[in-house]
Structure 1
Amino acid sequence: MLDNITVVLCRTKYSENIGSVARACVNMGCPNLILVNPKEFDMDRALPLATVKGKKVLERAEVVSNLPTALASFHKVYATTARMGGWRKGILMAEEAAKRMTAEIESGAEIAIVFGPEDTGLTNEEIEICGSLISIPTMPDAWSLNLAQAVLIILYECFKLKPTRKLRPIITENSRLATHEELLTLYTHMQQALLDIDFLRKDNPDYFMMPLKRFMNRLALRRNEFNLLMGVCRQIRWLKSQVDKSKSD
């Protein structure tokens, strides 16, 4: 069972595709599905595609209004994309991502895999909210995949690596993995601290934070390490305020 993985469908247009995704989830033993602002979601149209086996996944799916709310409690977040190039760097192929996710699950992580709407995929802003990028290799002239196909392929890569036996991890509260919400808070404080010391360019700090975010997202940051980095950011900002105060005096 892929109990630690949640499929997140963002702005899905067709209820039938949501039903097919529920079926793919149950095929691979993933019971968790979140729908972010689906367009005119109709359970009656989705259920036939979910089949009897996927009905339970579909009925217990959580519906939320926005992506940050959907991702707040997860430790690792992966966005899916068919488009490459530009600023979309460090893209993992599905097999590579599955290996990374398997290791993260063994360390206690709860993982979200985000899929965009059928026609356009995720926006740049939605991808920026997420941590890492996954793409599925296809023929160059036929790169568009059905939503349920994409979900099934990525979950299958994870399913193949499912361990035959799982040891009980020993994790204390202080050493649990930092949640996605905590990481976003850290990035906000880190960006402001780096602006205070003129490390980031003020004309477009979000852009120049991207490499740092990509680096941080490769780490399995623990809660105590989150607290440490937050303390560093606070100290930087306090020292900067003291320097500014002394100059004004």
Structure 2
Amino acid sequence: MLDELAVVLFRPKFPENVGSAARACLNMGVDKLILVAPQNFDLDKARPLATAHAKHVLEGARIVDTLPEALEGFTAVFGTTARTGGWRKGIMSPSTLAGVIDERLRSGGRVAIVFGPEDKGLTNEETSLCSGLMTIPTSREGTSLNLAQAVVVVLYECFKKALDKPFTPGGPPEERPTTVQEQEALFANLQESLLAIDFLKDDNPDYWMLPVRRFFSKINLKRNEFNLLMGVCRQIQWFVRAHGPKGTQDR
């Protein structure tokens, strides 16, 4: 049911947490585990926490150096955060996120959930690669969750949602969803186009692009729609080059 869902652990500090996360993955039907630059990683320390049942998940984990490398080929990426406010808006609960992931998976997408380091979590730069963010509500007396606890809470909601309606093949083929790399290419093209027509402020365009990114995070953008928007961007940029930026025509 969750064959195209992956858990990404970004710079995990303790191998024991990696082992426990692998066990959580197995419990909830997820067999794709990706480790990004794990610190002090030791399989011998991780195996006992994974147990013999999840040994194959742990030993089959893909280890990469960077987060963009880990996210290659995914059509949607969701990050976890304990911090809110500022750039971090529109944050979902685990149950809300599970509904979004369920929709993306049923439409043929490949989804990754990114968990940050135990001590710091994900930075703004790292969350900028995510289609959306999720936080796990806790009591004020204890806001910090163990990494494996966080993984099992989120995956439980995804597993439960997947049980609501079995995945059934058939029906007309859908256009495939866009990958994260294609989405980033579109955002870069949109930003260039919106700057060209003075829609974005040029003092901090990355910040002013955040509402645009949040808007697109609500859409399961397909490849044909991606091609359409890229074409619109090319036409905008051609027009500005041919006729000058906004405001110069009447000078």
Alignment TM class, shorter chain as reference? over 0.9
Q: What runs of 5+ residues in structure 1 fail to find an aligned partner? A: none
Conservation of the 8 A alpha-carbon contact between 1:77 and 1:180: yes
1:40: how far off? 2.2
> Residues of 2 paired with 1:209 and 1:160: CA distance?
34
Tell me, what secondary structure is at the counterpart of 1:78? strand
> Residues of 1 paired with 2:196 and 2:172: CA distance?
36
Q: Supply the AA of the counterpart residue of 2:80.
A: T
RMSD of aligned alpha carbons:
1.6
Q: Provide the residue aligned with 1:83 in structure 2.
A: 83
> Residues of 1 paired with 2:87 and 2:128: CA distance?
10
> Residues of 1 paired with 2:127 and 2:170: CA distance?
31
> Residues of 2 paired with 1:125 and 1:38: CA distance?
18
> Residues of 1 paired with 2:70 and 2:111: CA distance?
12
Conservation of the 8 A alpha-carbon contact between 1:108 and 1:169: no
Conservation of the 8 A alpha-carbon contact between 1:74 and 1:109: yes
Q: Provide the residue aligned with 1:233 in structure 2.
A: 233
Q: Supply the AA of the counterpart residue of 1:81.
A: T
Q: Supply the AA of the counterpart residue of 1:96.
A: T
Q: Provide the residue aligned with 1:36 in structure 2.
A: 36
Within a 5 Å distance, the mapping from 1:49-198 to structure 2 comes to 49-163=49-163, 165-170=166-171, 172=173, 175-198=175-198
1:122: how far off? 0.5
Aligned residues: 246
Tell me, what secondary structure is at the counterpart of 1:195? helix
Q: Supply the AA of the counterpart residue of 1:52.
A: A
> Residues of 2 paired with 1:132 and 1:196: CA distance?
27
Conservation of the 8 A alpha-carbon contact between 1:21 and 1:147: yes
1:171: how far off? 6.2
Tell me, what secondary structure is at the counterpart of 1:238? helix
State the TM-score, normalizing by the size of structure 1: 0.95
Per-residue deviation, residues 101-158 of structure 1 (Å, max 9, x unmatched): 1122111111100000000101111011111001111101211000000000000011
Tell me, what secondary structure is at the counterpart of 2:51? helix
Tell me, what secondary structure is at the counterpart of 1:91? coil
Per-residue deviation, residues 148-193 of structure 1 (Å, max 9, x unmatched): 00000000011112236321155647x1000111000000011001
> Residues of 1 paired with 2:3 and 2:237: CA distance?
41
**Structure 1 vs Structure 2: percent identity of aligned residues?**
52
> Residues of 1 paired with 2:212 and 2:12: CA distance?
31
Q: Provide the residue aligned with 1:18 in structure 2.
A: 18
Tell me, what secondary structure is at the counterpart of 2:8? strand
Q: Provide the residue aligned with 1:6 in structure 2.
A: 6
> Residues of 1 paired with 2:7 and 2:166: CA distance?
24
Q: What runs of 5+ residues in structure 2 fail to find an aligned partner? A: none
1:84: how far off? 1.3
> Residues of 2 paired with 1:59 and 1:144: CA distance?
28
1:42: how far off? 1.0
Cα 1:169–1:199, aligned 2, differ >3 Å: closer, same or farther?
farther
